[in-house]
Structure 1
Amino acid sequence: MPQRQLLATAAICATALLTLLPGSPAAGAPSEPTQFGNLCMRTQMLTANIDEASFRRAGGTIGNVDYTDLASFAASKPKLRPLETTRFDTYENGESKQVRCKGKSADHITAEYGPYVAGSEGDCASANRRTVWEASVMLSATERMAQVRQANDIVIDPDTAARTGQDWLADFPTATKDAEGRVHLPSKSLVVPLNTPNIPEEFKGQHYCTLASHAYVKRILLGQVLA
């Protein structure tokens, strides 16, 4: 059963980047130290370069639906108004490892909400970069004493572009380690602009991302994985 989380951006303060906001997630829904309390919602704001104030003035709200079944997630589509992402987590040892997010493209958001709400299309790598920073600053004093990698030690790789939805859903590494011992965070994207020809309308205006979770990045920083 999908679990829906909705936050009105009017309730969001830009200074509350590391605070979970009013309107708690549905039971069992993932929560992370992001401005929007959910990695996929924050990723949507980043990839579409949404200006929060303009989005709010246009009546915008943002929410997310969490899926626990991959087949149901594969069939899901993000919504435009209200803006709503969908999410699927892959787990390792009981903790989220990888997050797949389905969101809308910047040009589709602009077409719906008007000019100045969204900017140029961003990338999924920017979401991984933000996650590394968020996970790092949220370490406790005890965890910092055990930290073996700094945020700057993690290499953020550029997006690997998928050509189809099936390609995007295929297995993809959450993190890799190169011959010199550096940890890399790859990301996988599927971007379908609104003006893409010769495809059904419901497939247009999408931006999907495959990302590392906060929990897994924290384990990387603490040397608990890829040591």
Structure 2
Amino acid sequence: MYEEADNEKIPRMPVLGEKAPDFQAVTTHGPLNLSDLEGSWVILFSHPADFTPVCTTEFIAFSEIYDDLRALNTNLIGLSIDSVHSHLAWVRNVREKMGVEIKFPIIADLDMKVAGLYGMVHPGQSTTAAVRAVFFIDPLGILRGMLYYPLSNGRNMQEILRLLKAFQTSDEHHVATPANWQPGDKVIIPAPSNQEEMEKRLSEGYDCKEFYLCFKDI
């Protein structure tokens, strides 16, 4: 789970652009193999613990965007270092007390195996609980994005949706997205790779601020 650096233990971190670490796990929906989900996007997220206040608000919020994620060909998977029995009791409690159905599986990671593969445990926060991490895995099983939040602060679901849509837009149209991009906004044309492309770029009808910064509608 950890690598030694300057006599300190730091979490081993996954790497963007490489294959997401595969795993087998027990979940509230039964056994799960990450590799079985190739062909669809996956959002894997961790939370510190069941029956805690911030985590409860997050699970309600994730449930609110669940249908949106499914419409974007995306599987949502939760995780914490708790037992499957704890997860099941918490899911039932949220349904009975908050009126919210948790439709996605939650990994029981008591041995911290998955947490170790994904660098979810940060000793500066806790040695026994996962931080609030989010991993975006594409249909080829490649890790495309990572977000980390501390134990104290909940995540913004609209940013998670926005980033997923940005990845999918980039893949479909071979473009990049600018700061603060929202679906429907202009996108960025990749920068020219040689002088000929640079000279041609300004005459191609794009909204160019300079040869290296050109926008277009999609």
Q: What TM-score, normalized by structure 2, do the two folds share?
A: 0.25
Which structure has the larger Rg? 2
Under a length normalisation based on structure 1, what TM-score does the superposition of the two structures give? 0.24
